[in-house]
Chain A
Amino acid sequence: MLVARQILRSVLILRSGRFTVFCFLSFFLSSVSYSQDCNSTIAGFIKDESSGESIPYANVFLKELQKGAISDSLGFFRLESVCPGKYHISISHVGCETKELFLGFTKDTTIEVWLDHNSQLLNDVSIIGQRKKSTTQDRQSLNSDLITQNSNRNLATMLENMTGVSTINNGSGISKPVVHGLYGNRLTILNNGVAQSGQQWGVDHSPEIDPLVANRITVVKGVGALEYQGNSLGSVILVEPKKIRSEPHLHGGTRYFFESNGLGNGINLELQQHHKIIAWRVVGTLKKSGDNNTPDYYLRNTGNEEANVALQLEKLWNKKWFSDLYLSSFNAELGVLRGSHIGNLTDLEEAFTRDVPFYTEDEFSYSIDAPYQKVNHHLLKFHTRYNLSKSHWIDFTYSGQYNLRKEFDVRRSGRSDAPALSLEQFTNFLEGKYTNHLANDLELKTGIQYNRVDNANLPETGVIPLIPDYISNEYGVFGLVTKRIKKVSIEFGGRYDYEQRNVATISNRVPRTIVRHQNDYHNISGVLGFSYDFLKSWNLSYNIGYAARNPEVNELYSKGLHQGVSGIEEGDPNLAQENSLKNTLSLKGKVKGRLFFESLVYYQEINNYIFLNPQDEFRLTIRGAFPVFKYEQTDARLVGFDMAATYKVTEAIEVIGKYSYLHGYDKGNMIPLVYMPANNLYGELNYRLPKWGKFRNVEFQLNYKYVFEQKNLLPSQDFVPAPKAYDLVGAKISIERQWSKLGLKLFIRGENLLNNRYRDYLNRQRYFADDLGFNVIVGINMSF
């Protein structure tokens, strides 16, 4: 019956990420010979991009004719009485990213559509092997629907409900992600394939990325960083902007949200067109929020403001050459709780005894005064690919980053207007990469990289800087091989890095002089992984990786008072590299089509683990006595497991349960490791309807989170004991409606519905104030 068969495949999948899902948009059309005008049928199958399973109850909508259909239990749908022509078709499903197609047909047509299912769970259960890129790494992602519904959050807090992922916060606006207990310089964040280079010194520096630019955020929990330069000792977070849709019309969308806690507002605009000359996409975000509140009082000066923009250009020069350009600018002002700005240890101890922090006001305010942070981050990435043939190609990437961080403190005599910390950082990165997909499922990838970081203090502060000026030059080579033999995937690779760093510090004795240091580091890393598919829908993966991290300049050379943490911090210029060996073992599977589960066990040994060790010493300054912390090295061990399960009670009702456990141990000193996330439980009850009146994809959700008390901690390791266990109840309702030109999504989400008072161990603000109370977020998302 098949007369013609056409494979349309967007070959423009040229993001440099190793984990890019290949078949971003791939479907084929097959035409059937008998057909008449306006009596044609479009039919098709809808499948999950990553698992290959059919998706029932998905909505298919032919915009020009306002004609809709819902897929049946086999994922099959049918649209009848359609005239031949060109049409926009939108395919949506609760929990999936809506797929927009533009296709022309002349006859009865059958299409196959692959949806990007929100894959926090079971991302990689492979049934149809070809659809996914074989990897032995454990990955979880958020798709653009979930990013939209969490648009009031920042990059780190968006990921919070994934197993094994937590956040270190400084209040509500400043958060950095923690994966399997590692954060900051031990965790690599890739923004559109570029390793984010910014000021990641303290726990109070959040990554300078607008998550609303991304349409997918992925956490790779194995040993995923081998292809990337940097210091990752394990996990990687990928922030991936949307590919430009391959169709000639102008499309776009807008997202708006309001949140009750902090009276926050945010708007996000997006426009894109795959024009003949060049494909382009522009995204912009504006956000503003004021003082947050706990169940009992306002948190003064906790507002923040953000203005971000990103431009994406793609050009297919000819069959062989493809280039893309990405420009983004992130600009934020983040308020810090006024009552958390303290002078000395006495102030800190006094703060512990207070129910309500000092400076608390009865009135809500949007104003941001000292202490606050002002952060700008600009990124330019240029990438070009040359296809030597269909199966092997060369990628060339340049990226430049500029990061400017200013922190303003409460100071005397109008000096609050001058930052107390002012750092700028230029990063230039060059990469050449060669990829070859050889016959018999063998893939080879190799590349060379060069990275230069120039970090300088601006002298406007009037304060001796804690972080010295430096220039670092880093050179790397890597090679990776992936091989698939029937049901087994094998992955192995290695990399070598050389870093030379020249540092200029200012002495902490008078007269002030400049003291120069040079650091040289040679590092070798390696990874080995296996993945085995069995029993049709089960998968067992094992991954082992060896990696190193060079000591950072703050760990080597900081000397002086870190007022924010009420301590004198002293670096040690003789610190050696950290070496890590991480093992992950994961088992995923499906039982009787109803129960999906995923479990991951990890065991990580880090030798020469660098940490701030409190000394039995107080140092007298004119502000009083301060405890002394020294950067020291020990051998650390991180052991944990993540578990998640989904049970489909019926096609409409689904229950999800998750549990994360982590135990950190300092083997050298035989004590617990500090700053490890507390164990936690998370549950979700979802009720989903494909259609409800004129609305589609209606979803009701109730969720519950229980965070245990961090008991793996000695009293001497903190100023106050870790906070008690707490629980949070949340809910969400989302609905969609589609017109011929306009798609509409609405959601309402509630956080901490019981208005519980709580403090979190990883939130530094816990010393001073409770965490956030009741919050309702209302959002609207329109697309055309």
Chain B
Amino acid sequence: MPDAFPDFTPVNLLTGFLGSGKTTLLHRLLQDPALSDTAVLINEFGEVGLDHHLLERIDDTMVLLQSGCVCCTIRGELAQAMRDLQSKRERGIVPPFRRLIMESTGLADPFPVLSTLKSDPVLRHHFKAANVITTLDAVNGLAQLETHGESVRQAAIADAIVLTKTDLTDEPAVARLMQRVRRINPDAPFVDAHGDHFDIDRLLSGASGSGEGAPARSGFYCEEPVSVIGEAGSAHQKPVHSFVMTIDARIDWTAFGLWLTMLLNRHGDKVLRVKGILNIEGEDNPVAIHGVQHLVHPPVHMTGWPSDDRRSRIVFIVDGLDADLIRRSFSAFNRLGLPQPAANITETA
């Protein structure tokens, strides 16, 4: 059977604010036979409410479920928990899982988890960030976004947003929540946890930030022009906002690399997300980029353009940075690498 990740086990990060339904979703995941080749890292067994008849204890922190899932708790260092899991897999103590789902605590900024995967000298050779799934409570989510910065950051870096408790509220309320989220994350797909088409396998294997493969379509590269509702002019101005840079001229890769590394070095904690599809000088096919704060995934060479529109499009989700200044800065850098006059950039915000 072909393995999509021959060398690296994809890691799905499950995040969401306190009480947003992470545990309910995890419980569902752990009972699904389709995820028998999945390991799950959680904070506490008790929270998930695992039925002891359905599990076999491996040690104090790790159990094997009848569904085939390996489930372990994070006690202390996350990196150590992952190393233990990897060690037990290598020694055959746990089944050879092909996917890892990691639950982050409700108040956590998910970025350090992604950073650990990338920088740990052991883990980076075995694991690779796949996607970030954020649960959002349809009843309380709007209030949480208004009052808790963590909730905004979790929604901003999500590759997919699972709307929970939609059965406890009405459609207009869900629509308002989705509209609010679109201001800070313009293109992460919404998944209704109570919908008829909820597909766990698809959710986990969807939008990948791992840089593997060369998809013509992938779901997170801002392939379609997105409608972004800017907040700069709204009555309640929020520091976290998104905007799209659409660039008519071709992009010089060298200048782009220097610019983005410089931007992330100085403002990485405020660039919650950058992702885009680039028309690179000298390349026929587009290159997709995807970054979360200081971390940028390896760029992906796509097999073709998703439409006739050959313009580069980069989505930024930023915390308090000036969109116009970012646009001007990029334009000034890009012209250093290109023979022609400055790139024409239009902004949707």
A and B are partners in one complex rather than unrelated chains = no
Query: What is A's interface to B at a CB cutoff of 8 Å?
Result: none
Contacts from B to A (Cβ < 8 Å) = none
